[in-house]
Amino acid sequence: MPHDTPFADLTVGAFNDRLASAEPVPGGGSASAVAGSLAASLVTMVAELSKRPKYMEHASLHGAVEASGRELADRLLRLADDDAESYGAFAAALKLPKDTEDEREARAAAMRSAARRASEVPLDVLQACFEVVLAAESLAGRCNQNASSDLSVATLLAEAAAKGAAANVRVNLPSVGDEAWAQEVEARVSDQLDDISRVATSCRSIVASGGLRGPVPVGALSDAPP
């Protein structure tokens, strides 16, 4: 089945059916992005459930997280489509003719270009997952306590999505044909995974403790928590 319908327009069942089919897309990269989108939606839900008089001191935070959570959920669903398209481009490059030297050179160049794009998309998924766990951590101890466990679930989903995205970056790097760039990207992936794990662990620890925290400036959402 061709990838002719945005994944966001499919039912969950239809997406799962496509994932389970013999078609190459969607695959692990798209599934990782969708998992990240679910994480972002859970964070959004907690922010929405926290918009109550009892939590008014955190109202600006809840509004900011609700808005960023929706944007992240949409972005990650688009990245699921981008991942499928980038794989399709790489698969098409593999099928190019290679009978002559010129054809082989053209095919190799197309493969390098497609592999680079297939690395860049999951890099964007990693960044989005980092933003998801930052948003979740910012809510921990500053949200409706009845929904706080959903923040832990969100961070677990985001971590799984990030690890899946990292695997897709790494599998494509050898085909890019740029060792310096590959090393730079590998370092970035490792650092980002460490950051995501650190922030996600902090969020789950705060949720598990049941502790409350004071208000934070909205601008703090763009920075890693202390």
Flag whether 147 is in a domain: yes
Flag whether 221 is in a domain: no
Domain of 118, in residue numbers: 24-210
Q: CA-CA distance, 205 to 224, in Å (whole number)?
A: 16
Contacts with 113 (C-beta within 8 Å, 6 or more apart), sequence order: 93
Flag whether 205 is in a domain: yes
Total domain count for the chain?
Answer: 1
Q: Where does the pLDDT of residue 211 fall: very low under 50, low under 70, confident under 90, or very high at 90 and above?
A: confident
* pLDDT, tens digit, 9 for 90 and up, residues 42-71: 999 999 999 999 999 999 999 999 999 999
Flag whether 226 is in a domain: no
Instruction: Indicate the pTM of the whole model.
Output: 0.92
Flag whether 116 is in a domain: yes
Flag whether 3 is in a domain: no
Q: CA-CA distance, 183 to 71, in Å (whole number)?
A: 31
Q: CA-CA distance, 199 to 100, in Å (whole number)?
A: 52
Flag whether 1 is in a domain: no
Q: What is the CATH number of the domain that holds 153?
A: 1.20.120.680
Flag whether 29 is in a domain: yes
